[in-house]
């Protein structure tokens, strides 16, 4: 037992010495900008679709906003979706145009099954959706509903989370949102008897309807 204590003390002594004596090497040439992941030649929408689907997200591509309404209405009816909740003004206009019933009343929020939101941007490499508290949907809607529906645009695609955060910093400058959240697939945990459970701390399903708003060059 004494030898083990001695060995432990020697290790701790070396650690303390290393922490109190700084290295003489200066990392002046440290490269903080280069990519550390292998880049892909695939378009960002393809990368996002593949990576988002790999984390159990449901991906639907729409050529325009009219197709988004048609697809959303079809999937809602096919899945018998009820209690759709939406706070985003632009999305509410589209839902009204498609004659799709929804609620935006505060008292209905806790009982909502389907939460429809926009997003700040998408990170293609990880298949992530980035939302913030500065959106009309706020902090609660992306996590309150059983199913989270995201309407996003191809112009919002970024390569990586680093690029997404840079975009948000440039957008809000000195008034950054109090909450920036990265959503990568449905809510899930393995804390319960080491069994993977979806929907434990938030939506059990997440859909991204990606609307093409970038016209091809002539």
* Domain count across the chain: 1
2 pLDDT higher than 70 = no
91 pLDDT higher than 60 = yes
Q: With respect to residue 55, please indicate whether it lies within any of the assigned structural domains.
A: yes
Q: With respect to residue 17, please indicate whether it lies within any of the assigned structural domains.
A: no
pTM here is 0.78
Q: With respect to residue 216, please indicate whether it lies within any of the assigned structural domains.
A: no
Q: With respect to residue 3, please indicate whether it lies within any of the assigned structural domains.
A: no
Q: With respect to residue 67, please indicate whether it lies within any of the assigned structural domains.
A: yes
Query: pLDDT tens, 182-193?
Result: 999 875 554 555
72 to each of 49, 88, 100, 202, how far by Cα in Å? 17, 16, 9, 21
Query: pLDDT tens, 106-130?
Result: 999 888 899 999 999 999 999 999 9
pLDDT score of 199: 45
Q: Give the domain extent around 97.
A: 42-187+198-211
Q: With respect to residue 65, please indicate whether it lies within any of the assigned structural domains.
A: yes
Helix ranges (H only) for 21-139 are 44-54, 65-78, 89-97
CATH number at residue 202: 3.40.50.10420
- Residue 200's SS3 state is coil
Q: With respect to residue 13, please indicate whether it lies within any of the assigned structural domains.
A: no
pLDDT score of 111: 85
Q: With respect to residue 174, please indicate whether it lies within any of the assigned structural domains.
A: yes
């Amino acid at each position: 037992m004494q030898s083990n204590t001695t060995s432990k003390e020697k290790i701790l002594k070396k650690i303390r010495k290393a922490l109190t004596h700084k290295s003489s090497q200066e990392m002046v040439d440290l490269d903080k900008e280069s990519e550390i992941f292998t880049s892909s030649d695939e378009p960002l929408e393809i990368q996002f679709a593949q990576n988002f689907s790999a984390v159990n997200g449901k991906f639907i591509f729409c050529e325009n906003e009219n197709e988004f309404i048609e697809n959303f209405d079809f999937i809602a009816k096919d899945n018998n979706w009820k209690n759709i909740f939406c706070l985003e003004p632009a999305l509410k206009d589209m839902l009204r145009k498609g004659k799709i019933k929804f609620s935006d009343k505060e008292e209905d929020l806790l009982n909502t099954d389907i939460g429809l939101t926009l997003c700040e941007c998408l990170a293609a490499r990880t298949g992530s959706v980035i939302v913030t508290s500065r959106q009309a949907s706020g902090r609660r809607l992306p996590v309150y509903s059983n199913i989270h529906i995201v309407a996003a645009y191809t112009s919002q695609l970024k390569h990586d989370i680093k690029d997404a955060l840079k975009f948000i910093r440039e957008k809000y400058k000195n008034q950054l949102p109090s909450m920036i959240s990265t959503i990568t697939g449905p809510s899930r945990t393995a804390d319960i008897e080491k069994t993977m459970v979806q929907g434990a701390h938030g939506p059990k399903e997440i859909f991204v309807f990606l609307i093409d708003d970038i016209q091809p060059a002539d």
